[in-house]
Structure 1
Amino acid sequence: MSGTIVLTGANGSAALWTVRYLLQHHPDKHLILTVRDTSDADANTNLLREALAEYPDASSSVRPLDLSNLTAVHEFAERLVDEVSGGKVPKLESIISNAFYWNLASAMQMTGDGYEKTFQVNHIAHSVLVLRLLGSFAKDGGRIVLFTSDTHWPGKSALEKIKPRIPANLDELAKPPADEPEDHMAHGQNRYALSKLAILMWMYALNRHLQKVCDDSILSEIHLTISKNTRFSNITAVAINPGNLSDSRALRVNTPAMIQMMSKYIIRPLRPLLRFMDPTMRTSSEAGTDVAKLAVNEASPGYRGFLTLLKEDTSSPDSLNETVQEEIWAKTLEWTGISAATAGIST
C-alpha cells in the first residue's frame, strides 16, 4: 500500500471531489478523512460515505475532529503518530488542511481555548496537525497542502470593507478586538482574510525551517529540531488559492441573506458569464481535483510556495515580508503549545 493522506473537512464542497479523485485514480492510498460531525444526522458526512461506498475496496476511515478544540486536535495527532509508528497505517504522504470556518452574519466567536474561532480553525489547529505529524511522513518526504485565498491581497475581494493587514501585536490575530462599529459582515470577512494571510506567511516560514540547517541557538529559539533530520527537507508545503467556487456551501453558511440570495440567483446560474470577469470563478469539482493532484505530487511536483489554482504565482507584497513571516512562525508555536517534546520530532 502507498502512503497515508490526511484530509480535514472531508465532507466539504471541494473536499468531496478531492476524495473522489483519490479513490478513482489512487486507490492504493490510505485516506484518513476528518469531519466535525460523523453522525448519520449530518447530511454532508452522508455524502462522503456515499462516495466511499462506491469504492468498497479502498482503504479509508472517517474520523471526528473538532478543530475548535485544540486538546482534541493534539489528541488526534498523538493517536495518529502512534498508529503510524506501530505500523497500523502507512507513513504519511500528505496533509490537506481543507477545513475552514467563517462567520459573516453574527458577532465574533471565541473558542474554549480563548482564541477567535475563524483564526483557530483555519490556522492554529491546522498548524498543530502539521507540526505534530511531521515525524510521521515517509523518508522520501511528502506534501502539505494549505489553503489561502485572494482575500489575503488587499483590494481583491468584493466583500472587503477592511483591508487585511497583519497587526503589530500578533496576539490580535488570535484575540481581536470586538466588532466596532458593529458591522459583523465587514469584520467577519476581515478575520477570514487575515487567517488566510497568516496561513500563507506561515507556509513560507515552514518551508524555510524544513529545509535550512540551523545552529543550536536557532533551534533553541524556535523549539523545534526540524533541521536535525534531513528527511524533512523532502517535505514541500504549498498554499493554494483554489478559486472562487460558485457552488460552495460556504456561501450559504454563516452568511447574510444577501449573500445567500446572490449565490442562488446570480453566482451559480451565471457562473460561465462571471468567469469571463473572474478567471478564478469555477466549480468545487475543479478545485477539489486540483487539490488531489497537488497532494500526490501530480501537480507542481517539488514546488514550494503559493499557487493560484494550479499556477505557480506570487502572493501579495505584504505576505512576502520574511521578518513578519518568522514572527508569525514563532507566535504560532506559542498559540499551538508546540515544543520539541510534543512535535513528534527527535531532539
Structure 2
Amino acid sequence: MSSSTGSILVTGANGGLGSATVKHILKTPDLASKYTGLYTVRKAATASQLRAALNKAPSGHKHETLELDLSSLKSVKATAADINGRVATGALPPIRALILNAGYQEHATLTMSGDGLEMTWQVNFLANLVLSLMLLQSMDKDEGRILILGSWAHDSQDERNTMGGNAVYKDPKWQNLFPGPEALAKGTWSTPKDDASSDSGFRRYGASKLCAVMLMHELGDRIAKDPKLSNISVLGLDPGGMPSDISRRASFMTATLIMKVIVPLLALVMVRLSPNGAVRPLWKSAADVIRACFEVKAPRGKALYLNGTDEFETAKDAQDAKKRKALWEYGLKVADIKPGDTVLVDWQ
C-alpha cells in the first residue's frame, strides 16, 4: 500500500502550463511529500520540459511519467483502466486531483485523429469526458476534485476575443460555437475551406473549449446527485493567455516572436497591474490550478468556474441543459462508453 495521501494526475504535463503546474507541486513541500504525481505525456522520450522539472524534484516525491495519447480513444481507455486497476489493489493512492490540462490548437490547418474525429474536439473535450467518467472509481470520494481547463475563447461574446483588433467571431455566422456535436466532431464547421486564415482553427478551438465547459457543468450536475460520488467537486479554470507552446502550429510570427518574446514580457508587466488579466505568466496560472484543486472551497451541488482566482460566469450555451445533454449523449456514443465503464449512476 502506498504511503501517499493521494495522487495528483496532470494531463499534458510536458506543455507550458502542465510543466509549470508540476514545478508548483514540486516546490510546495506539503504537496510534494504527501502526494504521488501521475504526469501524462504523449511520448516520454521527448518530454523534455517535464524531465527538466522532475530533475529538481525533492527526494521524497513519488511520481510516474505515463504515456497517454489523447487523440486515441484506445490509449485513453487503456491508461484509465491501468490506473483504476492499480488504485483498486492499493498500488496507487486514490486520485485527489484530476487536472485535465492538456490542450490542442490548430490555426490554418485541420487534422483528423486516427479515430476519424476532429483533433481539437477529441483532445480538448472527448478525451476529458472519457477520462473523467472512467477514473471516477479511482477518485478520492471525500475530497476529490476534477479540474477542466477552459478559455475565454469558449464564449463568442467575451470581449477578450477582440483584443488586438481580432475579428474571429465578428461575423454573425461564427458567433454560434455549438452548431451541434456532429459538426464539431467530424470537422465540418469552420474549416480552412470556409476560411483560409488562422481564424478557422481558433474558432474550432473555442468550440472545443465550449464543449469542455459544457462537460464541467454536466458532469458536475450528475456527480452532485450521485449517492456515492457527491463529495467530488468539478471545477473549471480559465488560465488566461500565457507564453505557452499551444500556438506552435501557428505562423512563424505568432509561434516565435509573439509567443516567445512579446507575450512573456507583457505577462510579467500585466500580472502586476491585473493578476487575473488577459495575459499571465505560466507560474501565476499554475498557482491558480493548484489553488482551485486544494484551496478553494467548492460549492456543493454545482460546478464552479474560475477566471484565475475570480469566480466567473460561463457562456450561455454552456449553461443550456438541452445542448449539454445532446453533447453528452453524442460523446458517449462516439467514445463507445458501455455499462461498467464508469461508476457514475446517472451516466446515460
Q: Give the TM-score normalised by structure 1.
A: 0.87
Between 1:8-17 and 1:88-97, the stretch displaced more is 8-17
What displacement does 1:327 show?
Answer: 1.6
Letter paired with 2:196:
D
Task: Tell me the percent identity.
Answer: 26
Query: In 1, distance between residues paired with 2:127 and 2:193?
Result: 27
Q: What number of residue pairs does the alignment pair up?
A: 324
1:113 aligns with 2:119: no
Query: For each residue in 1:285-337, what CA deviation from the matched residue of structure 2 results, as whole angstroms up to 9, or x when unmatched?
Result: 010111012222x1244462211112111112232212212222222212222
Contact kept? 2:72, 2:114, Cα under 8 Å: yes
Q: Match for residue 186 of structure 2?
A: 175
What displacement does 1:249 show?
Answer: 2.2
What displacement does 1:151 show?
Answer: 0.6
Q: What does 1:1-347 align with in structure 2 at a 5 Å threshold?
A: 1-23=4-26, 24=28, 25-26=30-31, 27-39=33-45, 41-51=46-56, 54-104=57-107, 106-155=108-157, 156-157=160-161, 158=163, 159-162=166-169, 163-177=174-188, 178-212=191-225, 227=226, 230-245=227-242, 247-251=243-247, 253-260=248-255, 261-273=257-269, 279-296=277-294, 298-302=295-299, 304-344=303-343
Q: Give the TM-score normalised by structure 2.
A: 0.86
Letter paired with 2:249:
N
Runs of 5+ in structure 2 lacking a partner?
A: none
Q: Tell me, what secondary structure is at the counterpart of 2:135? A: helix
Runs of 5+ in structure 1 lacking a partner?
A: 213-226
Query: In 1, distance between residues paired with 2:194 and 2:34?
Result: 53
Letter paired with 2:42:
R
Cα 1:79–1:184 change in 2 (3 A) is farther
What displacement does 1:239 show?
Answer: 1.0
RMSD: 2.1
Letter paired with 1:154:
S
Between 1:179-188 and 1:191-200, the stretch displaced more is 179-188
Contact kept? 1:31, 1:61, Cα under 8 Å: yes
Query: In 1, distance between residues paired with 2:239 and 2:135?
Result: 24
Query: In 2, distance between residues paired with 1:19 and 1:43?
Result: 13
Cα 1:164–1:76 change in 2 (3 A) is farther
Contact kept? 1:6, 1:31, Cα under 8 Å: yes
